[in-house]
């Protein structure tokens, strides 16, 4: 029987509540394998208490896990940028989690913001590059604080980094349930250097994967199609910044942040899975937050570990629960946080 070392970062705000529900679900589906949970006390609370964001010892501890489940990090008391860059992005970069995989699936019975969407219209996955682009922090500020101030923020796009993410997208398009179709989303009409590299690499990889259909779409047009014609998408591959933005729109057409999960994946290393919605300070400690995004993250984590049966059971559990809930929004679900967890456990068992 396999034993997995699972790193758990419960984090701040509603993070601990939703992670608690995901672990409850994990417990109910993990009869075919063992899980050893290792807790990492990281996030705003730790930072405010000790000044530590991500000490080396803890980073090494994370490297030693088979997978990581993250709740959420952040707090209005911490200056924006610290936890984002020195914790979340540092883990993504240091563990070389170069794929940010964000499924955009509308589960059964989930109310939509877009009345023209049929339930099955929304079923695609965004493969967001996760270690390059504008997120690298390349650039500089000059004459700061003067009227002549200059700020340069450069997007870093390597051939290596572009090629590996595009290859991943093509492989993703062949997975069960996918339709062997990959769309490159970029802005090649304006970004003449980065867009040109992405377009050439995409064409090269496409030429070696002729069983997969391809399309191209500018990022602004992609936003229109998310609302107007989401069926045209199966797998989207895009850069870090565009991927960040369009996946929030993706979350909204799938039913909101309450159901949006994502994975920061290193296919040859340690991957980290998270609900993408954040800490929801207004709901902290009230038992009103929707845990389905965290439970969806758990499903992705199990798939990444190769525990497909357990992942399928979690998927069944999620699909059984959504139809019963009145809304995916916090405090409007018709159930408490832990009751939603119970619905999933129940559905996973059948």
CA distance 32 to 270: 21
Nearer to Mn ion, 58 or 244 (CB): 244
Nearer to ligand IPM, 88 or 185 (CB): 88
Which of Mn ion, ligand IPM, none does residue 94 bind (CB under 5 to 8 Å by kind)?
none
Q: Which stretch binds Mn ion (CB under 5 A): 154-162, 235-243, 244-252, 330-338?
A: 244-252
Helix axes 15-29, 337-349, angle to 10 degrees: 20
Nearer to ligand IPM, 212 or 261 (CB): 261
CA distance 254 to 229: 13
Binding site for ligand IPM (CB under 6 A): 84, 88-89, 244, 276
User: 253 by DSSP, 3-state: which?
Assistant: helix
Which of Mn ion, ligand IPM, none does residue 261 bind (CB under 5 to 8 Å by kind)?
none
Range list of H helices, 255-334: 292-305, 308-322
Q: Which positions from 196 to 235 touch Mn ion by CB under 5 A, shown as an x/- string?
A: ----------------------------------------
121 with 231: CB under 8 angstroms?
A: yes
Q: Which among 108, 40, 55 is positioned nearest to 272, based on CA atoms?
A: 40
Q: What's the CA angle centered on 160, arms 155 and 162, to 5 degrees?
A: 55
Within residues 277-296, the interface with Mn ion by CB under 5 A covers none
Give the DSSP per-residue string, 117-181: --GGG-EEEEEEE-SSEEEEEEEEEESTTSTT-EEEEEEE--HHHHHHHHHHHHHHHTSTT--SE
Nearer to ligand IPM, 89 or 298 (CB): 89
The residue with its CB nearest to ligand IPM is 84
Which of Mn ion, ligand IPM, none does residue 246 bind (CB under 5 to 8 Å by kind)?
none
Nearer to ligand IPM, 276 or 330 (CB): 276
Which of Mn ion, ligand IPM, none does residue 343 bind (CB under 5 to 8 Å by kind)?
none
Nearest approach, Cβ of 316 to Mn ion (angstroms)? 28
Q: Cα–Cα distances in Å, from 249 out to 20, 63, 100, 126, 222? A: 27, 32, 15, 11, 10
Which of Mn ion, ligand IPM, none does residue 84 bind (CB under 5 to 8 Å by kind)?
ligand IPM
Per-residue tokens: 167: 């290859």
Nearer to ligand IPM, 172 or 244 (CB): 244
Is position 244 an interface residue for Mn ion (rule: CB under 5 A)?
yes
Nearest approach, Cβ of 78 to ligand IPM (angstroms)? 12
Cβ-proximal residues to 132 (8 Å cutoff; 6+ apart), any chain = 155, 156, 157, 158, 161, 162, 239, 240
Nearer to Mn ion, 243 or 347 (CB): 243
Which of Mn ion, ligand IPM, none does residue 75 bind (CB under 5 to 8 Å by kind)?
none
Which of Mn ion, ligand IPM, none does residue 26 bind (CB under 5 to 8 Å by kind)?
none
Q: Determine how many CB atoms are found less than 10 A away from the CB of residue 149.
A: 10
Is position 274 an interface residue for Mn ion (rule: CB under 5 A)?
no
- Which residues bind to Mn ion, rule: CB under 5 A? 244
């Amino acid at each position: 029987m396999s034993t997995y070392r699972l790193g758990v970062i419960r984090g701040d705000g509603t993070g601990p509540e939703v992670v608690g529900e995901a672990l409850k679900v994990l417990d109910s589906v993990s009869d075919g394998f063992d899980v050893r949970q290792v807790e990492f006390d990281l996030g705003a609370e730790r930072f405010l208490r000790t000044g530590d964001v991500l000490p080396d010892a803890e980073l090494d501890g994370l490297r030693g896990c088979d997978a990581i489940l993250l709740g959420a990090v952040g707090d209005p008391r911490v200056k924006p940028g610290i936890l984002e860059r020195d914790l979340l992005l540092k883990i993504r970069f240091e563990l070389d989690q170069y794929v940010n995989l964000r499924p955009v699936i509308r589960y059964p019975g989930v109310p939509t913001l877009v009345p023209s969407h049929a339930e099955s219209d929304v079923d695609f996955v965004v493969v967001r590059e996760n270690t390059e682009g504008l997120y690298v922090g390349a650039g500089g500020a000059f004459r700061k604080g003067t009227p002549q101030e200059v700020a340069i923020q450069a997007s870093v796009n390597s051939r290596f980094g572009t090629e590996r993410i595009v290859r991943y997208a093509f492989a993703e398009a062949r997975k069960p349930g996918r339709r062997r179709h990959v769309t490159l989303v970029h802005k090649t009409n304006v970004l003449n250097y980065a867009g040109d590299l992405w377009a050439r690499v995409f064409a090269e990889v496409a030429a070696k994967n002729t069983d997969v259909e391809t399309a191209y779409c500018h990022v602004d047009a992609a936003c229109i199609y998310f609302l107007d014609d989401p069926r045209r998408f199966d797998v989207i591959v895009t850069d870090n910044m565009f991927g960040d933005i369009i996946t929030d729109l993706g979350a909204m057409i799938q039913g909101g942040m309450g159901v949006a999960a994502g994975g920061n994946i290193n296919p040859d290393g340690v991957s980290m899975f998270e609900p993408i919605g954040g800490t929801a300070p207004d709901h902290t400690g009230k038992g009103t937050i929707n845990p389905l995004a965290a439970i969806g993250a758990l499903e992705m984590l199990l798939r990444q570990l190769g525990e497909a049966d357990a992942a399928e059971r979690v998927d069944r559990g999620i699909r059984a629960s959504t139809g019963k809930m009145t809304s995916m929004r916090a405090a409007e679900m018709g159930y408490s946080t832990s009751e939603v967890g119970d619905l999933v456990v129940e559905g996973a068992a059948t």
